[in-house]
């Protein structure tokens, strides 16, 4: 769904709210676990997770400025010192993060890109999986959650080539940590979830 633009919200305004808007390395404390959500939407999932786990460093990445603004609002209202927000694209993950620095990557309700010619744009496609392999720690994990069955089935094929699948759920129960989109979509059908870990060499 196309997001409505918010008047006056741009990269400069977001920067004033504490959002990282430049494409440079993120300066994080090395003594914390690091959880990253790629494509955070309005931030309902990651802000609630960060609130309940102050001992973990969270990073929300969102490429739409007006949506990023909503995450920043929640962060400030909830006083989340353990959440960093990046206005940016998954293409630049290797710039934002050091190799073998991430413990967990969340891919929640990513664009399914249903047409075959667009599959390479999926955040579970092999080119992105290679990025995750470089950035995850040796025991790192990725979690995919979606309502799109074809994306889920295709992603299993992509992921099992380079990761070990830990769990697969084709009718995920409700939890304390859901995106706004998930809450809405649960009324119309099942939610699918896959968790995978780095292969042990």
Q: Annotated catalytic sites, by residue?
A: 111
CA distance between the termini of the chain: 41
Contact 28, 81 (CB under 8 A): no
71 vs 109: CA distance, rounded Å = 16
Question: Which regions of 63-182 does DSSP assign to beta strands (E)?
Answer: 83-87, 102-108, 136-146, 163-169
146 vs 135: CA distance, rounded Å = 23
């Amino acid at each position: 769904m196309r997001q409505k633009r918010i008047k006056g919200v741009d990269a400069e305004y977001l920067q004033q709210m504490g959002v990282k808007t430049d494409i440079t390395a993120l300066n994080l404390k090395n003594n914390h676990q690091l959880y990253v959500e790629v494509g955070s939407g309005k931030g309902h999932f990651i802000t609630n997770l960060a609130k309940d786990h102050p001992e973990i460093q969270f990073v929300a990445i969102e490429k739409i400025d007006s949506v990023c603004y909503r995450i920043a609002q929640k962060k400030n209202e909830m006083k989340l010192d353990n959440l960093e927000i990046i206005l940016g694209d998954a293409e630049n993950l290797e710039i934002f993060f050091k190799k073998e620095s991430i413990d967990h990557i969340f891919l929640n309700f990513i664009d399914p890109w249903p047409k075959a010619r667009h599959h390479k744009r999926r955040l579970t496609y092999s080119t992105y999986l290679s990025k995750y392999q470089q950035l995850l720690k040796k025991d790192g994990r990725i979690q995919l959650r979606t309502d799109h069955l074809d994306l889920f089935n295709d992603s299993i094929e992509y992921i099992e080539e380079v990761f070990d699948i830990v769990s697969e759920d084709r009718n995920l129960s409700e939890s304390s940590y859901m995106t706004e989109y998930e809450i809405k979509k649960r009324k119309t059908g099942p939610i699918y979830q896959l968790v995978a870990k780095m292969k042990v060499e």
